[in-house]
Amino acid sequence: MQKLSLSPLFVLLFFVPCAWSMAAAQTLQHAARVAKPAIQHVDASKAQNLAPPGLKPLAELSSEQLAIADQVVLGRMPCELAVRVHVKPDARGAGRFILESGSQKYFMAPVLTRTGAIRLEDEAAGVVWLQLSNKSMLMSQKLGKRLADACVSSSQLVVAKQLERNPAPSLLDTPVLLVAAEPGSLPKFPLAADSAAK
């Protein structure tokens, strides 16, 4: 019995193009099955009607809240313990955001604070997003714990590295001026009531 041998040139010219065309056809069929519909741009006046079921209509945000919204860092951020967070604008209203963490999706709105931290809140879910200059965190008020900690964007990473090199002075390290009542007497600490009376 004779053995059939194929020349390498024959294999290269016949079988390789067939394999490539079959792989390309399978890839196109798979892409057609999983293709997502195109993103539709919606007129802002009609955006209120797109609220997911169960969510009440969105209230208008104040100018202070919109100013806070302009400072929110957007994008995907890695966090501690391999958690990832994605913050993106919510098309249903100006100054609102969608925050995704794992399989959870939160609809966030800016909240005024006295500390200067950027605070977004989803009242229905009881979740708060706090953004500082060097990191952000996601907290659950209902569960009383952090859901994501030390989330850092590229701009926050720059600030965090600067703070590592040049740490901010601690309140405990700040020198206190001592005031003497009379020359030669012991110095006394200034009291809050004394400085308020002046």
pLDDT tens per residue, range 75-134: 999 999 999 999 999 988 899 999 999 999 999 999 999 988 999 999 999 999 999 999
Its pTM stands at 0.58
User: Which of residues 10 and 56 earns the better pLDDT score?
Assistant: 56
Give residue 53's pLDDT band: very low, low, confident or very high (50, 70, 90).
Answer: low
Rounded average pLDDT over 188-198: 54
3-state secondary structure 9-56: HHHHHHHHHHHHHHHHHHHHHHHHHHCCCCCCCCCHHHHHHHCCCCCC
Beta carbons of 127 and 147 less than 8 angstroms apart: yes
d(CA 43, CA 182): 73
Give residue 141's pLDDT band: very low, low, confident or very high (50, 70, 90).
Answer: very high
- 73 contacts: CB under 8 Å, gap ≥ 6: 87, 131, 136, 153, 155, 156
pLDDT at res. 32: 40
Residue 23 Cα to chain centre, angstroms = 39
Domain residues of the chain, as ranges? 61-162
pLDDT digits (tens, 9 = 90+) for 172-190: 776 656 555 566 665 555 5
Strand partners, 77: 85
End-to-end CA distance of the chain: 115
Has residue 140 got a pLDDT over 50?
yes
Pick one of 2.60.40, 2.40.128, 1.10.10, 3.30.70 as the CATH number of 61-162. 2.40.128
